[in-house]
Structure 1
Amino acid sequence: MNILVVDDESIIREGIQRTLSQQFPQHTVYLAAKADEAAWLLRIESIDLVLTDVRMPGMTGLELMELSRGRHPHVKWVVISAYSEFAYAREAVRLGARDYLLKPIGKEALIEMVEQLGAEIEQNTMRSKETHLVRQNLRLLREGALTRLITGLDFGGIDLNALLEDHPYFYLVMVQIEQKRSGHLEHFIVENVLTELFDNFGHGVVASASVNQLVGLVTPDLPHQLPVLIDELKTQLKRCLKVPFQVIATEELDKFSLIPRQVELMQRAEVGQSSELNHEDHNNEAIELALKYIRAHYQEEVTLERVSSVVFLTPVYFSQLFKQKTGHGFKDYIIHLRMEEARRLLHQPGLKISDIAERIGYQDMRHFSQVFRRKYNMTPSDYRQQLSDSEKEEGHRFSWS
């Protein structure tokens, strides 16, 4: 089970982590000091249980919970509050929290609560894992299809009608967040608000057009509901977002082939209202951000899915965009970084090759040697021996000069 502890007080979150790690070593415990870190972890990790403080800077635990329910319906929530904040705990239960813990948190109460919810989660997981996987994959396919439509990419034989057959008519809704001040939390808020409203008013799918631009395709249960949906969207975003934003919607559409042109028109309309960067600039910015992230983390297990989520793009689109902008495939680029660092480290004779492999992200030294050999036509040992021979030859020439 994966547990996320969200609290701005390090003593509390680290104390909970120690207790859970000692009592339940089989569980993984993640920590977040504020809501945007929690939103990020909910997005990239498979979290089963969230223990969240009520009062935190930026966004309360209740707001985080309310925004996350639509996107992560399987997650169970437990609220942490002081006695003076008991009203928040009651509100949390109303919103669907399974339990609440009062500060100071007793170890016995914490352990008992996690044992009980852990048993429930295990039972639920066995029953819903397959269903959730199907739904998740279908959602990702629909997001990918919408992203391809937005960007005008080829579909490679994908049948759009089969993926989006529930949309005989639809509207496009674009939300633009101020680029210079937006971040993970703002993107998370917009994505979740759109998803929840689409579910409340009908059905739809949301995709990232860029780091700070999201486009939703929605079919309301009743056509006249769109203005109400837009008003509710603006109301919720004004309440939750701390940065300027714009909302643009199309008229009713009935052909998926119209989407690229409609998105282009919405982006042009937006440019007339704002001095934000154009779509190409957003793509360049996304790749620059991805490159910075990869250079900082290539020693770890860096996956395409993780990096694409960092820049808020679907994996398929990000992979194609990365190749287009850098001239290298995603995996090839990471291998290149690792191998260049390996060559640099091999110049240090005191470092074991197994240590070098581990430093650059390979736990298996044999795998590291195979990759190095494919890259440079020699093993790491051969490369180091070649360096040594060159140094000896240089020393020999110098001694006779």
Structure 2
Amino acid sequence: MFKVLLVDDMEISRRQVKRLNLWDGETNFYIAAEAQNGQEALNILRQEEFDLLITDIKMPKIDGIELMKETAENSLCPCVVLLSDYEDFSYARLGIQYGAFDYLGKPPEYNSMLDLLKRVEQHLLKKKREEELVRSLSEKLEEKIEDTFPTAELEQLIEAIKTKQQDIVPDINRLCRAIGALFGDDPIRTATALKRSMSELVSQLKLHYGWMVNFIDSTRYKNIDFLDDEGSGTAQETFADAISELYGSIRRFEYGNTEDQLENRICRYVLENVDAELSIEGISRVLFMNRKYISEVFRQKTGELLIDYITRVKMARAARLLSQSTRKTYEIALQLGYRDTEYFSRLFKKHMGVTPSEYRNSAIES
């Protein structure tokens, strides 16, 4: 079960949340404590661990935004949800900039809160798995390379991983791809092959992992000539295993949390999933962000509505399929998530100026 701290200066508002009947077995969350303002909430958070903080924005002493900032800076709670009477987008944007998971209007509706709690649960479970994987990685590295590195450098490596738990997102698929790409199907058997692979690993780490650049420049595996020593086969395999695991288990943040980077994340997700039934609601679930927020950020940054961008990308994909395949129009429509072929054809003509069949004929003639 996940523990919830509910914070609101108005008792009636707290009652409205509790009366949603989501806390007694309907979900895996229960309200373990309540607070009337931000200061009282901070006092509780410093004494007890909670999984979710649900807080109003406008409160005396310390408001919800300040409470969230303090919570994030001191790692007092892994997930924060804001409640607010305000419809002003700036409050939601400010809250999410400081790390809020999402926000709901007051009083929250049953279905909205239920949907949010399901997403919070997924987020918390994923976060716990990541932390366990990072701890496991630290332990494995400590076991595998304690005889390879001098003590000081070993401690630096382990500490670098442990202190970066909040910035590391392990990815098993990336691990498999990285090892496969670097080492192939056959294990490393010679010092020469190991040295070549290690050089590539170091280059990739320096290229992709900003927080590791200084560490890479200061440790012994920058200079890997010692791998040519005879009789070092065990050390070579141990060293290669440890570094390849480190490389594969760290998934770099290609995009961060700024609004410019959020725009890139949205665009990339649409491009990579163009054949799926894309929707703003679905994208918001994947990004763990409020649908209104991502829609507004995208519009402000691009000048285009997100739904229009999704349609534009799908129509470009449809044009490619029409010109490069013999598939029927209805088949292409279904592939792109459109079950109504007539609707798909109207959209295509609106964006391309011609019907799908006219476009295909033109492509064949040219």
The structure whose residues are more often strand, as a share, is 1
Settle same-fold status: TM greater than 0.5.
no
Q: TM-score, normalised by structure 1?
A: 0.35
